[in-house]
Structure 1
């Protein structure tokens, strides 16, 4: 332990065997509390983490935490979950990384799986109003997220143009190809159009696994993204194919959890595995639970064949696996990545592209599916007004569902 109370790691690959089991338990308990109480999305989660692990427990220094956040934002995947995994790893090695993931994810995953299975039982005429209210709330949530992301990630004419071009590509090219193409186009346009700037600010290297471990983890990630489809076709395992699709969605998300919406919509609704109504109702519910928004995949896994609790578990592990492999695999190379002269420009283009992706998802399917009548339009507008006024999203979603149950 360093003099300032932070964790010091001399030989990080040895941490997993040297750290006491009690440290992993300590990490699990701390993140379980946060998983039960962390409402508000990724930005709020990062604030909770800093308060809990930097200011209060002093597990790591403020500068180390800031660098870990920068790495998570540079990488694709759920930023807050990746930061949590990184904190767990620094505290208790690989067992700590797993403990942080399970503790932070378990509460919302259980809630979303239970909601999906309960929704399946309720999908009768009596649930029509409830679902309409939840879909209207989803319209408001996505609209607010789109406005916030556009103001921070696509401000100015150049970045707004990148967002529009990439959003148009996502609308014109259906499915994952359009999503991946938009992200790649955004990175290329950022390199071409963004003004030259220095590399990301340099700090002391983060505690990290050895480079050979990083290479091995990134190689495993490549296999996770490539092999499930061919293996599923060879052995006729549709569940493995679905897991691969969730893993690819988890590996392609830049710019926050909301951006997973178009990727998962293409892989589930677009393939006829989940109804559009069930999809948007679940997305609305995801705003009402604490923890990572990526547990929306848990809900979809419970609905898509084979479904049930097994499908929920499979989807959860699949969508978060790339996040863990990326954060641990990239740590040894972060100091070099941040020194690349084009890193900041490419990242700016990718961030603008994800605004376009979210805008495309808002236009199709969120808006037409969520606003189907004058009454649902009023609910969506009321929900948006409450969100903009600072009302917590869980209360807005639950209120919209109640309004739908009573009056739609």
Structure 2
């Protein structure tokens, strides 16, 4: 749902210009240095990009999901690392507070998240609990009007920069599944909270992940999101329904850029005295990529519209994330093939994107988890 088309168009055009003039020229530097320059992050703050999805009453832009998707489709035609720095504030690092937080929690955190003054992080995955998130072992034992948290969270995006962590822990050990899990807001600097080393990743250099370690980390009972024990997993699933749609849009944006790089190369590169774009097998790869990007874009926008109409999008968000994340990897693979040897060389953006986009099939639910969600929802509908 688009509330104000003219305002949205201005923002989209502004982001397009920002991507072209500021982000793309910095891509190689960010990757080489494994760091996004502070001046770029400051410019992203000024544009309001950290607060795209945060309601206006808490100083965000309050975009609908469809409006957010339109912005993301443009932003993500630059390297995915730029989206990564705002991604947790726009998505999983703030959505739990937006959806289920108390008014006091919203007032405390959301304005700072919207401005980019602080970074949020979503600490769900553990060394032995990835796809099976309901089996997490991090414990939260009540002690008076506090809880004591113990456990380790793994591969936590933006943890090195985060000021507040949404930590999922088991408050009721007698309930083995999702029902015993609560979501806590834990501030950086809380005694007992520490970070592991930055992981050395395959791609998306410039975006950082590490372990979050909780060792007798003591937090007040008021730190539970919504101040309701035992509903943390439900909060996580509501967050992921929306954020998976966002990630699908990220994939479409990245695929659009990759195809543009491949097309330009195919038009310029000559073999047998003519551009390789004239060869039908090259055309087939270009056409397949274009068709798949268009299909994914339609899926994402339709899912966003349903979300804005307050409809259940569990199946649609998983369909979008599954198709788009698999699609962008196919597009990247074809692009490397079109560039030939050059596609394997780091001087070309296609090589970097090929590594960067592989992550999308893994986080916020692997492709296989999306398949299970889709199939289970289908079966439930006819049961």
Greater relative contact order (Cα 8 A, min sep 6): structure 1 or 2? 1
Q: Settle same-fold status: TM greater than 0.5.
A: no
Q: Which band: TM-score by shorter chain?
A: under 0.3
Higher strand proportion, which one? 2
Instruction: Please give the TM-score of this superposition, normalised by the length of structure 1.
Output: 0.26
Higher helix proportion, which one? 1
